[in-house]
Amino acid sequence: MADNVKIPYVARENTKVGTHSFYPQPIAKGTFGFDRMCKKAAKNTTIEEHTVRAAVTEYMKVAQEALLEGNRVEIGEQFITLYPNLKGSVKDYKDQKTGETVVVTAKDLTASKCKSRVGATVNRYFSDEFERSVSWVKTDKTGAVIDEGEDATETNEEAAQGGGNQQGGGSKEVEP
């Protein structure tokens, strides 16, 4: 298990839902890359780093094939499950020529109007273990540690102006 290092976060204002709404935004310390992961996984074992790399690469090729066949794919035991996902929606709209509302039905929703994505869910047991083990430290937008009672709010505007730190936690494709 890793040393109990505190992960920094900043309080961000959620302007989409109105004033006085805040959420924590973890700040990534960096990326633990594939090479580093393979090296660390091979350490203290009889398995060579290049063997780990080759096995994981092939494992992910099989995972991709299984996803393309429409399967849910378990990555590790009680870790992550990948699944094929389709994001999109259709809704009623006003016809620009007539000004009338066009009512859509399920028939109007087609895969061509959606984006194909790989979804992922983290196993509850893995998340619970993370929760039991993690420590957090509140920081301001410059990364300076602050007392939990102080105001360390970063508005979306400040973040857009480059005042914030690198955000942690995946991409916009991942939903909480």
**How does pLDDT run across 139-162, given as a tens digit for each residue?**
988 888 887 765 545 544 554 454
Q: Coil, strand or helix: which one is 137?
A: strand
What gap in Å lies between CA 125 and CA 74, rounded to an integer?
A: 14
What gap in Å lies between CA 30 and CA 44, rounded to an integer?
A: 24
pLDDT of amino acid 171: 37
Domain ranges, ordered by start, for the chain? 28-138
DSSP string of 81-123?
Answer: EEEEEEE-----EE-TTT-PEEPP-GGG--GGGSEEEEEEEE-
CB 117 within 8 A of CB 173: yes
The proportion of the chain whose per-residue pLDDT surpasses 70, expressed as a percent, equals: 82
**How does pLDDT run across 62-85, given as a tens digit for each residue?**
999 999 999 999 999 889 999 999
CATH number of 28-138: 4.10.520.10
Average pLDDT of every residue of the chain: 84
